[in-house]
Amino acid sequence: MQPFETLDPGRPAVVAGMAREASAGPAHGSDAILRRFARFVTLTGADRRRLLHLAGTATPQAARRTVLTEARPCDCLHMLVAGWAMETRTLPTGERQVLRIRLPGEVFGAECLAYGQALQSVQMLTGGLIARIPRNAVADLRVRHPQVVTGLALMGLYERAVLQEWIIGLGRRPAWPRIAHLLLEIDERCRLSGLARPAGTPFPLKQRDLADCTGLTLTTVNRVLADMRRRRLIGLRAQALAIPGRDDLARACGFQPRYLRPDLAVAPGPAPKHIASVG
Amino acid sequence: MQPFETLDPGRPAVVAGMAREASAGPAHGSDAILRRFARFVTLTGADRRRLLHLAGTATPQAARRTVLTEARPCDCLHMLVAGWAMETRTLPTGERQVLRIRLPGEVFGAECLAYGQALQSVQMLTGGLIARIPRNAVADLRVRHPQVVTGLALMGLYERAVLQEWIIGLGRRPAWPRIAHLLLEIDERCRLSGLARPAGTPFPLKQRDLADCTGLTLTTVNRVLADMRRRRLIGLRAQALAIPGRDDLARACGFQPRYLRPDLAVAPGPAPKHIASVG
DNA sequence: CGACGATTTGACTACAGTCAATGCTTGTGG
DNA sequence: CCACAAGCATTGACTGTAGTCAAATCGTCG
């Protein structure tokens, strides 16, 4: 099987902590930011230039580095210009819960502006680049680049929808479909972000990370993944995920990518039959 | 023990589907809306008048009525002018997951504006009043009442923080502390909203609802509540909740109301000791 | 009183957790 | 180039928390 060099899961910029191609081709670097905003709003040239300038201030981050620590004072918005990250909370018992996975081009830490501190930690999953946007620069965006702020608001709604889907999974889905749903969600997000490659999508999460996403134990995650592989539903190796049995998998866990597609046209018609139609 | 008439959990306006005092005293009706916004932003007189006008268009809703159905096309923002509600999702298996509890004065359904449809159902927990704000009225707010829109954005961050806390609970807290945390959260939100009374806070949720909030079964919820009562940590009767053992309960489940207080000053200093301080 | 919804309780089951050992990769330094 | 260590993945045996199934009781409201 291919060594998946082309599937390099977002370590475009950093090797051993050093930036290599931070401003290389158009498919790398700050480009991810613009492509992400473009999915939510239409930006002016000035908006784009401003975002690119902000992204240009990004600094390299090594894989697994903690870039933001919960409960620490913080007054900035953050842009993940390149690389993957995850937001986590650690309980007094030492247990960890992952709250979301961050893909290249995403903005995070908005809650710092409201709370004056980070509510959760952010850890890099791969090497990457992060730009900090101080409060006054955000205020400036509000005045001079309202479309950017509108984009941020819509991204917030989008993220809330994803959080809700995680709640459904944690609350009501057994281990197998819970993991299946997460894999499909990450895969779909990669596709929508243009990160997917013919052989599969990048997948820098360890089994330990999957366990902390799903509230399961490492042992259970390992057994479920082994089962999915045995059934030839997924292929997971060398930091890359392939889902040959996508339809079967989606059916088995009730995955409906609607919530990942705010741009999708509304399908008119009545609610699904299993829902009591009182309204 | 008192019959808790004064604890009436938010059915201020509706009895048997009929509005009684929709525009009664200042402590009722649309007032809740203004008080909630005031916690996030400073409104001008014009802002307040506009909100009151919108709230004035509210229609009465009976307890347990479904006021918004998931997957149905929808183009409005909604204001819960009076009464309690909950947002839920129903799985194909018929299982239900509650996503959040809505208190009087809250705004819901913002995702409809981005997705063109409701992502989850909303059901009344008590009788109440609901106002619909059509898309063009929201656009008008953006232009003429930017502070109102800022308030909505901050409320969105707040709600995301609450969602995250639910994820922690569902993912990593055993049944007992999970329920304890939820009770404390609802209680604290009531206090911050001025709904609490000396004898306790209103609590219109059934054990079935608690089970669907926490991803547990009705049986488990019942046993945990019985245990908490036996230990004299809580008193739960006649639609009202009292928590005499608040401190013990909070310690037992690691409840920290920080996330419910965006207005709170940041406590300077290092992160809690159980968190690896890498950043 | 009778009916319905809500709560309570008991007996049994099972899914996922815990504990522990082993195997496999990857990266580092001799 | 190989030895070694560290992190990650895999597997087995056993345990326990919460789920399932079922029935009884309580309480409120016609």
A160 touches chain B (CB under 8 A): yes
**pLDDT above 60 (res B243):** yes
CB–CB contact B111 A161 (8 Å): yes
The residue among B254 and B3 whose pLDDT is bigger is B254
Q: How far is the CA of A217 from the C1' of C18 (A)?
A: 10
User: Residue A198 burial (CB < 10 Å; 0-12/13-18/19+)?
Assistant: exposed
**pLDDT above 80 (res A269):** no
CB–CB contact A73 B119 (8 Å): no
Tell me the nearest-neighbour CA distance from A216 into chain B, angstroms: 8
Give the start-end residues of each E strand in A128-228.
Answer: 128-134, 201-202
Of B148, B126, B123, B142, the closest CA to residue B52 belongs to B148
Q: What is the pLDDT of residue B198?
A: 83
Q: What is the pLDDT of residue B263?
A: 72
Structure tokens at A146: 């309202």
Q: Chain A: residue nearest B211 by CA? A: A171
Q: What is the pLDDT of residue B206?
A: 95
Which one-letter amino acid corresponds to residue A117?
A: Q
Residues with CB under 7 A from strand C: A 16, 174-176, 215-217, 219-220, 238; B 206-208, 218-219, 222-223, 225-226
B residues 164-183 near A, CB within 8 Å?
A: 164, 166-168, 170-173
**pLDDT above 60 (res B16):** no
List, for residues A67-112, the tens digit of each pLDDT value.
Answer: 999 999 999 999 999 999 999 999 999 999 999 999 999 999 999 9
The nucleotide lying nearest A206 (C-alpha to C1') is: D8
**pLDDT above 70 (res B66):** yes
Q: What is the pLDDT of residue B13?
A: 36
**pLDDT above 60 (res B12):** no
Q: What is the pLDDT of residue A278?
A: 34
Q: What is the pLDDT of residue A234?
A: 94
Q: What is the pLDDT of residue A253?
A: 96
In angstroms, what CA-CA distances link B95 with A112, A224, B47, B71, B109? 35, 23, 41, 17, 22
Q: What is the pLDDT of residue A22?
A: 35
Mean pLDDT of chain A: 86
Q: What is the pLDDT of residue B113?
A: 92
Q: How many CB atoms lie within 10 A of CB B86?
A: 21
Average pLDDT over residues B129-149: 95
- Measured CA to CA, the distance from residue B239 to residue A248 in angstroms comes to 45
Q: Which nucleotides of D are covered by protein (CB under 7 A)?
A: 8-13, 17-22, 28
- The DSSP string of A43-78 is PPHHHHHHHHHHHHT-EEE-TT-EEE-TTSB--EEE
Q: What angle do CA A38, A44, A50 make, to 5 degrees?
A: 90
How many inter-chain contacts (A to B, CB under 8 Å) are there? 177
pTM: 0.88
Tell me the nearest-neighbour CA distance from A240 into chain B, angstroms: 26
**pLDDT above 60 (res B54):** yes
Q: Percent of chain A at pLDDT above 70?
A: 84
Query: What residues of chain A lie within 8 A of the CB of B264, using their CB?
Result: 115
**pLDDT above 90 (res A154):** yes
Q: What is the pLDDT of residue A222?
A: 96
The residue among B275 and B31 whose pLDDT is bigger is B31
Tell me the nearest-neighbour CA distance from A6 into chain B, angstroms: 31
CB–CB contact A270 B160 (8 Å): no
The nucleotide lying nearest B178 (C-alpha to C1') is: D18
Q: Chain A: residue nearest B142 by CA? A: A150
Of A208, A5, A185, the closest CA to residue A101 belongs to A185
A89 and A53 Cβ atoms separated by less than 8 Å = no
Q: Chain B: residue nearest A114 by CA? A: B262
Q: Which of B20-34, B75-89, B257-271 has the lowest mean pLDDT?
A: B20-34
Q: What is the pLDDT of residue B197?
A: 85
For residues A241, A242, A245 and A249, what is the CA-based torsion angle, rounded to 10 degrees? 20
Average pLDDT over residues A152-162: 96
Tell me the nearest-neighbour CA distance from A112 into chain B, angstroms: 10
Q: What is the pLDDT of residue B8?
A: 42
Q: Which of A165-179, A245-259, B26-40 has the lowest mean pLDDT?
A: B26-40
User: Per-residue confidence at A274, pLDDT binned at 50, 70, 90?
Assistant: low
In angstroms, what CA-CA distances link A82 with A34, A97, A273, B263? 12, 23, 43, 33
Structure tokens at A134: 């101080």
User: Per-residue confidence at B264, pLDDT binned at 50, 70, 90?
Assistant: low
Q: What is the pLDDT of residue A264?
A: 63
List, for residues A178-234, the tens digit of each pLDDT value.
Answer: 999 999 999 999 999 999 888 889 999 999 999 999 999 999 999 999 999 999 999
> Could you tell me if residue B193 is left (phi over 0), alpha (psi between -120 and 50 degrees) or otherwise beta?
alpha
Query: What residues of chain A lie within 8 A of the CB of B161, using their CB?
Result: 111, 115, 119
User: Per-residue confidence at B228, pLDDT binned at 50, 70, 90?
Assistant: very high
Q: How far is the CA of B176 from the C1' of C12 (A)?
A: 22
A52 and A28 Cβ atoms separated by less than 8 Å = no
List, for residues B144-184, the tens digit of each pLDDT value.
Answer: 999 999 999 999 999 999 999 999 999 999 999 999 999 99
Average pLDDT over residues B6-27: 38
Mean pLDDT of chain B: 86
Q: How far is the CA of B201 from the C1' of C16 (A)?
A: 36
Residue B61 pairs in a beta bridge with B128
**pLDDT above 80 (res A16):** no
User: Per-residue confidence at A5, pLDDT binned at 50, 70, 90?
Assistant: very low
A residues 44-103 near B, CB within 8 Å?
A: 65-73, 89-92, 94-97, 99
Q: How far is the CA of A204 from the C1' of C22 (A)?
A: 25
DSSP assigned state of A150: H
Average pLDDT over residues A153-162: 96
DSSP assigned state of A258: G
CB–CB contact B73 A114 (8 Å): no
Q: What is the pLDDT of residue A29?
A: 61
Pick from A72, A114, A274: CB nearest B262: A114
A residues 94-153 near B, CB within 8 Å?
A: 94-97, 99, 110-111, 113-117, 119-121, 153
Query: What residues of chain B lie within 8 A of the CB of A260, using their CB?
Result: none
